[in-house]
Structure 1
Amino acid sequence: MDPHKRSVTIEVMADDESILGGGRFETTVEDYAAMRVYAAQWTDRVWTIEGCSGIGKHIAARLLADGEQVVDVPPKLSARARVFATGQGRKTDATDAHSIALVGTRMTGLRPVVDDQQLAVLQTLVDRRRALGEDHTRMISQLHALLLLLIPGGAKRFLSAAQAKVLLATVRPRDAAGKTRRRVAAELITDLERVYQRSKAADKELTELVRATGTSLLELRGIGPSGAARLLVEVGEITRFPSKAHSGSWTGTRSPIDASSGDRVRHRLSRGGNRQINRFLHIMATVQLRNQTEGGPTTTGAKTSTGIPRWKPCAPSNGACPTSSTAPSSATR
């Protein structure tokens, strides 16, 4: 199956790669029911869908709810299969569906999709929490721009809604433009206070849900409820990684990767890793380095004027720094 936002293209393929049928259906209730009826003539069936964690998630969730067996096909595998297809490599819906069916028929070890309600709830809430953070950043930027026009020199860099309200109370513009700026700034402060309340409630709910999973991520210094929930959502089922090196390569952290021929294995940062996970691991490492604790990562060298230790350059011979610890390569549930 090749999923789209409003339609899906399917191709029915047997074990010997013979094509038994196919078609295109809309994602409406009527067409979805028609697709189920059409596929019911093959009793021993497995749905292979591209991107069950992304664009194909909506149709995979509906099939799982109806008791169907669904397998996730990574987009990279279907793209590689499409290269060897006929038709001069044209990317059409039928070609995509055929490539996905070939991958599902030929490849072993594809990950079955599981209807994990706990992770689904976490993903919805952590996405909402990230949106609140983005709203906060946008409003603060707009508020700084307005205060710079209302107050000589503007406000300080790290500004809260309460501090902005105190500053705005000292401003009494007389011109029409100044009055409008002050009114919009007051509206932004009200919106910021609302965002603070929602973020606080979201953090509390995420903390309870993360602890309910039984994970120990919240015990790590530098990982909050939003970061722990994001790690759980992105990693999913940890057993799908054959080894620690596979997990490190997927997340983008430093892990032993075969970077050259021969028996030599060296550490390399995977540029194709998961940026979401790598971001939170970087935040965790930064917090640990700025707040030194016993047994945690350390830095060497003199401190700067702000009290933060300077980084000591790593030896260029092996590409790894022996004086500092790196963030963990994977998250476990």
Structure 2
Amino acid sequence: MTSAVAEDTTEKDVFGGVDSHADTLHVAVISDNGGHLADAEFSTTAAGYAAALAFLNAHGDVITIGVEGTASYGAGFTRAARSHGHRVIEVNPPDRAERRRIGKSDPIDAYAAARAALSGRAHAAPKDDTVAGIRALHNAARSAIKARTAALNQIGHILITAPETIRGKYGQLKGTDRTDTLARLRPAGDAVHTAVLTALKSLARRVKELTAEHQALTKILDDEVTAHNPGLRSAYGVGPDTAAQLLVTAGGNPERMRTEASFAALCGAAPVPASSGRTHRHRLSRGGDRQANAALYRITLVRMSSDSRTREYVARHTAAGRTKKEIIRLLKRAIAREIFRCLTTTVTVPAIADLRPLRQSKNITLTAAARHFGL
């Protein structure tokens, strides 16, 4: 007796995991029940990405790919995978306890990323590329400020130990007066004086160049941020640098953050439960994106100093016995809620370019207009 067994041509579901590096990426494939199928290493080039995707597709129907570092080393592979219709999720590196237990290697990390995608432990969508230009400009402007600060600190340190004639003449100057004066120096005197004055002149010119560079970058950044999200840029207390940081934190696809609470947690502005037994309390979050947290803090300070509604809020809670730190925490949480709305919904900003000629034609001073609106 013979029997015919039909061949099962159904393509099985698989999950992928990627451990990314600067020059290579390690790809692992697991089945839908967590079994290890295969792993391999590929280069971080267009050909390497194509080979990695072909490797994944050869093992079945790829449901999800977990990638470690979608915004850094894994950005290229993430773009390639999404362009081919694959679902990609962001995977955090394994915690220290797990690494101590199972060790660390590229295959181990790749399989861990695949298991995170399978289990649902990792579910965050990666950021898209629409804010890549804003991120680049923001990083360049920030590095200019850091280099400028370093040069200013060097000027101060040199003046502390400089010969008395130099320290007495230039040590009392402050701010731009000192920088402008030092940049116009004509070093002369003995060898020591000439060397010190030359160093001061070089540093002062560096400060002026970096200041001009930062101003130019900030102007371009402001235009980019305003074009990308005019509602966010027009919010009270949100400047170009602050808006850029919040856009970089949220990404060009903020819908990946499902609620405003998740955005507040991402910014480290959500209170964290710290209860135990009969003690019921919350503490400040020390996690999240600390640069985004600093951006919310800057907005809070601006509003506390010049926004009438915020000042009334602060006075009301101060009278209720809250400390300044507690009030700032509450304000940052409320501002995070407002920023989330600006990031996820289209806010129409009225055109105001024609208001100045209209005000001047009616002989209304700027002071009178501000007094009318209580500003």
TM over 0.5: yes
The runs of 5 or more residues in structure 2 that have no matched partner are 1-17, 344-375
1:271-310 superposed matches below 5 A: 271-289=286-304, 291-297=305-311
The answer for the alignment partner of 1:143 in structure 2 is 155
Cα deviation, residue 61, structure 1? 3.3
Distance 1:75 1:182 in 2: 51
Cα deviation, residue 263, structure 1? 12
Name the stretch that deviates more: 44-53 or 259-268.
259-268
**What is the alpha-carbon root mean square deviation over aligned residues?**
3.5
1:142-291 superposed matches below 5 A: 142-148=154-160, 149=162, 150-152=166-168, 155=171, 159-160=175-176, 163-167=178-182, 169=184, 173-236=188-251, 237-253=253-269, 255-260=270-275, 267-289=282-304, 291=305
Structure with the largest fraction of helix: 2
Q: 1:98 to 1:265 in 2, by over 3 A?
A: same
Count of residue pairs brought into register by the alignment:
312
Q: 1:265 to 1:227 in 2, by over 3 A?
A: farther
TM-score with structure 2 setting the length: 0.71
Amino acid at match of 1:219: S
Q: 1:41 to 1:172 in 2, by over 3 A?
A: closer
State percent identity of aligned pairs. Answer: 22
The answer for the alignment partner of 2:42 in structure 1 is 25
Amino acid at match of 1:123: R
Q: 1:30 to 1:211 in 2, by over 3 A?
A: closer
Among 135, 155, 163, the residue aligned to 1:123? 135
Q: 1:222 to 1:156 in 2, by over 3 A?
A: farther
The answer for the alignment partner of 2:353 in structure 1 is none
- Aligned 8 A contact 1:258 1:264 in 2: no
Q: 1:225-260, CA deviations, whole angstroms, 9 ceiling, x for partnerless residues?
A: 01111111112233333433332222112x354433
| Secondary structure of the corresponding residue to residue 229 of structure 1 | helix
Name the stretch that deviates more: 241-250 or 230-239.
241-250
TM-score with structure 1 setting the length: 0.79
